[in-house]
Amino acid sequence: MVAHSGLITVMDRAARKAAPRLRRDFNEVQQLQVSRKGPADFVSMADRRAEETIYEELKKARPDWGFLMEEAGEIEGDPNKPRWIVDPLDGTSNFLHGLPHFAISIAVEEPRPGGGRGEITQGLIYQPLTDESFWAEKGRGAWLQDRRLRVSARRELPDALIATGIPFLGHGNFKQWSAIFAAIAPEVAGIRRFGAASLDLAWVAAGRFDAFWESDLKPWDVAAGMLLVREAGGFVSDFRGGDKAMERNEFFASNDGLHTKLHKLMANGLRGI
């Protein structure tokens, strides 16, 4: 069994404590899907219940740490201590429609000396339905349970399978996404949109996808996944190839062999808008 820090144990325990209720709620929402009432309020409750469970577990372990959470927002802690970044149900629309593709995402963000927030040092993404726990620690690699993860070794565009998030209902930049899609799609083996950015990034780290791009995401969507990709030997940048993914709210992740080729295609597409 691979050794990891106590923080990963705490994160994994919190995710697994919330998971059984999410699994039960998912089975229930499949029944509500065909009722007149509709499942939207039910799913919102499932989201909040999962977040409360995770919050209680993490708070118990580190009572002076702060939180940044999808539902509850920011909860202040000791500014000199790390904080938790939590998405209790990434892939809510999938959950809502009975699609079995969603995850819990938890990350640890260190404070920056002199104030503000710094880097992500631990991350965990847990898929309740498959019981897959993807985790990473800065400088110690990325893992799926006790198996070391590496990004894929594919180097040729015609072999590459790319993940993305398509803009929808006021989210994302349609013009920008369309330009990138038009530049990349004719050159690669396929493009997939599965609807959970945390799992997209975990799957890049695991070599299932070769790259991923999306904009207009929140820190809880990507914090753990970005660390996973980097610790698995991949790259994360903004669409311009820089290190301002969070600031620009542009996320491009890929393996090392395809990074330059895909970024050139992306840059060419963006020049036209």
pLDDT tens column, 180-219:
999 999 999 999 999 999 999 999 999 999 999 999 999 9
Q: Are 217 and 191 in contact (CB under 8 A)?
A: no
Question: What are the residues whose beta carbons fall under 8 Å from the beta carbon of 269, sequence distance 6 or more?
Answer: 179, 180, 181, 182, 183, 184
6 φ/ψ angles, rounded to the nearest 5 degrees: -60, -25
Domain boundaries, the chain: 6-148, 157-271
Buried b (16+ CB within 10 A) or exposed e, 226-262: bbbbbbbbbbbbbbeeeeebbeebbbbbbbebbbebb
Q: What is the pLDDT of residue 3?
A: 65
Alpha carbons 128 and 101: distance in angstroms, whole number = 9
DSSP annotation of 117 reads E
Which residues, listed in sequence order, are joined to residue 84 by a DSSP beta bridge? Answer: 67, 108
Per CATH, is 6-148 categorized as 3.90.660.10?
Answer: no
User: How far apart are the two ends of the chain, measured CA to CA in Å?
Assistant: 50
Determine the pLDDT at residue 36. Answer: 44
Q: How confident is the model over 49-71, as pLDDT tens digits?
A: 999 999 999 999 999 999 999 88
Q: Rounded to the nearest 5 degrees, what angle is found at the Cα of 25, between the Cα atoms of 19 and 31?
A: 150
**6-148 and 157-271 share one fold:** no
CA neighbours closer than 13 Å in the CB half-sphere of residue 54: 35
Low-confidence ranges of the chain (pLDDT < 50): 33-37
Supply the pLDDT for residue 83: 96
Task: Give the architecture (CATH level 2) of 157-271.
Answer: 3-Layer(aba) Sandwich (3.40)
Q: Is 120 in contact with 138 (CB distance < 8 Å)?
A: yes
CB 25 within 8 A of CB 156: no
| Phi, psi (degrees; rounded to nearest 5) at 241 | 85, 5
Yes or no: say if 214 and 197 are a contact pair by the CB < 8 Å rule: yes
